[in-house]
Chain A
Amino acid sequence: MAREDYEIVMGLEVHCELSTKTKIFCSCPTEFGGEPNTHCCPICMAMPGTLPVLNEKVVEYAVKAGLATNCKIARNSKNDRKNYFYPDLPKAYQISQFDLPLCYEGHVNIETPDGEKTIRITRIHIEEDAGKLNHDEYGRGSFVDLNRAGVPLIEVVSEPDLRSKEEVEAYLRKLKSIFEYIEVSDCKMQEGSLRADVNVSVRKKGATEFGTRTEMKNMNSFRSIVRAIEYEANRQIDVIENGGEITQETLRWDDVSGKTFPMRDKEDAQDYRYFPDPDLVAIRLSEEYIENIKNALPELPESRKKRYLEEMGLTEKAANFVTASKYYSNMFEEASKVCGNPKSVSNWIMSDIARILNEREEEPEELKFSGKELGELVSLIDKGTISSAIAKKVLEEMFENPEMPSKIIEAKGWVQISDEGAIKEVVAKVLEANPQSVADYKAGKDKALGFLVGQAMKETKGKANPQMLNKLFLEELKK
């Protein structure tokens, strides 16, 4: 059988760091970075005799995340201990949630080539992050930094509803975008605040039973997740095609070799011996508490999209693109307010800004300029101060040096030439230097005009007003 005869079935466990000021069970800061072990205290270092106290914001943020992903919210919930030994886990157990997660039975919708698709969310629970192990190149030992230990996470578990790497990426981007909109996490993959484990199995198309699955860990970018899925699905199909069987195991993705490897420390059948943490008490949420959070939720991407379609005249494609990221969406709204031309703003975001980000392998949150700058850029084009060719150069410059476009233009001397006298001079010069094109035009070859305008643009380093150039060339050629 061929690859096309198989279907890939995937479910995701997404870990997302909450952007609270302090850790989940102690008052240490969660801030990223910092000297090793400087964001720590006896509680997150698991000193004997210390007691955890739950951060109220962690519950609030998790409920917000649940409501924004259409989950039911548990009225009664609790924390449980997940027991295992690993040097980055100082207590030898992680405080997590087992049978009573805060949120359950939700869903999000993603866009696929066949239209909208619903991905079911099994549950969202709260738990603490582990510390970080550093290894030195001489093999003298490992070094433990507990700054991350106790940073609050939510784990979002999906049903096995995903069928392609594109769907996985769309689902992840959707979660990231929702959590950014409701401001519960900054979802920075490069800082590890959004991580995903992917459960992968394959089965012949039309089969109703799931195949044996493997769980992949250690992917830290959208690109590596997509590559890992591709590799692992093909590996499983090859095993089955060669008469083998898939072993249920945890795999580590290695980005350098582009392969998955079994994780040795996870070999033993996982037996975490969960039990309720006796140091913590029950969480009971009232209707009023949940209602208040629901009412305070900020506008979600779906509602923004509707507004962009109905009130701002964007196309479906543009509205989808702009609302996919809170950063794009906020930039779009601010820039549109400045210049009053939302269509043009959305075009700049979809084409040039997205392209440059892609070339730089950056995400929208890394943009150094805001809607204020982009709005001015569009205004300057609309007013004829710069041509769109120059505007592209200004935009490139804004990625390096996030100044106001008017300042950049002034500093670089890129103001458009709209002075009729100056343009007439250029036109005369170009006509004189290109008698053949003039003859061609007069012989009926309209294309020659484009060539002449291009020459004039070259002459003025792109600064001539294109409408005026066109008009003056036509006037001269008709003489």
Chain B
Amino acid sequence: MAISKEEVEHIAKLASLNLTEEEKERYANDMTEILEFANMINSVNTDEVNETIGANENYNVFRKDEIVQTVDKETLLQNAPSQEDGMFRIPKVIN
């Protein structure tokens, strides 16, 4: 299964990436190769295998509904590029 240039453009748009024409070509090839590699798994016979959910055999890992607060606002915001009134300041979002 080959990935087309249009598919690369769609994926790039969803990921908010600007790609050059040369990059689009290269990624189309790379992604086709990755897909082909991953498709090897389809050749395994799974007739006798039960369907699994997720790659991990664990299940029902839960937390109790109890409040624990360990980090204060100042610490949480310390790496924010810009902040004001205890909030992250970002470029204006139009809705």
Contacts and interface: CB of A to CB of B under 8 A. Distances in A.
Contact of B93 (A39, A133, A140): A133
Given A87-B90, A143-B90, A144-B88, A54 B61 contact: yes
B41 interface: no
Given A40-B71, A281-B59, A283-B60, 11 more contacts: A22-B66, A39-B69, A45-B76, A56-B62, A57-B65, A100-B53, A134-B87, A143-B87, A143-B88, A143-B90, A282-B58
A281 B58 contact: yes
Interface of A: 20-22, 27-29, 35-42, 45, 53-57, 59, 76-78, 83, 85, 87, 100, 133-135, 139-146, 252, 263-265, 268, 271, 273, 276, 278, 280-284
B62 A36 contact: no
B92 A27 contact: no
Nearest to A83: B14
Per DSSP, chain B at the interface is: loop
Contacts of A268: 13-14
A252 B95 contact: yes
Interface in B26-63: 53-56, 58-63
A135 B92 contact: yes
A320 to B, nearest CB: 35
B62 A59 contact: yes
Interface residues of B, number: 38
Contact of A21 (B10, B62, B66): B66
Contacts of B77: 37
A363 to B, nearest CB: 27
Contact of B69 (A41, A252, A283): A41
Contacts, number: 128
Contacts of B56: 278, 281-282
4 closest A-B pairs by CB? A56-B62, A143-B87, A27-B68, A282-B53
A144 B87 contact: yes
Most chain A CB neighbours (cut-off 10 Å) among B62, B65, B84: B65
Contacts of A133: 93, 95
Contacts of A38: 73, 86
Interface string B8-23: 0010011010000000
Contact of B76 (A40, A78, A278): A40
A41 B71 contact: yes
Contact of A282 (B59, B65, B66): B59
A29 B65 CA distance: 10
A425 to B, nearest CB: 66
B63 A55 contact: yes
Contacts of B95: 133, 252, 263, 265
A271 B9 CA distance: 14
